[in-house]
């Protein structure tokens, strides 16, 4: 049996909050990209589907070269993503989004092997006196 002790440096609650915000942005980016791909399979006009909607701008940008991976967005892509996310009530209600992935706080892990029986040299049980 093994026991683990994870060593984190920093505020674990803050890291979890920042990671969740980044994950929402990544999920939004992926969802918008998949909707564009699905809509264009039927050769429908993207303009007719999303007229004057900021959500349309991001979807078109994803289709025409803007990455659906939030980590690959440039400054303009980040600005469009944040505006589109905030303007979509379904996504905005989930919480804030962030395009900056937080640095990991995990510094390492200590692994301790646990044994069922205490065994000393020569197969005799160890006690406090045998240490």
Which pTM value belongs to this model?
0.64
| Model pLDDT, residue 43 | 43
- Domain residue ranges in the chain: 2-109
Kindly tell me if the per-residue pLDDT of 23 is higher than 50. Answer: yes
Q: Which is higher by pLDDT, 71 or 33?
A: 71
Q: Give CA–CA dist 90/83, Å, rounded.
A: 14
> Which of 42, 40, 41, 60 is CA-nearest to residue 50?
60
Q: What is the mean pLDDT of the chain?
A: 75
| Model pLDDT, residue 50 | 41
> Which of 100, 103, 99, 69 is CA-nearest to residue 85?
99
Q: What percent of the chain has pLDDT over 90?
A: 33
């Amino acid at each position: 049996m093994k026991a683990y002790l994870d060593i984190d440096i920093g505020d674990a609650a803050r890291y979890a909050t920042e990671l969740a915000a980044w994950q929402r942005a990544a999920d939004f980016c992926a969802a918008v990209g998949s909707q564009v791909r699905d809509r264009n399979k039927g050769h429908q006009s993207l303009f007719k589907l999303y007229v004057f909607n900021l959500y349309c701008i991001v979807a078109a940008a994803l289709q025409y070269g803007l990455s659906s991976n939030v980590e690959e967005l440039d400054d303009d892509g980040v600005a469009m993503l944040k505006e589109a996310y905030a303007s979509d009530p379904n996504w905005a209600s989930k919480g804030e989004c962030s395009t900056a992935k937080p640095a990991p706080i995990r510094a390492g892990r200590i692994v301790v092997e646990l044994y069922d029986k205490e065994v000393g040299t020569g197969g005799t049980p160890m006690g406090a006196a045998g240490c």
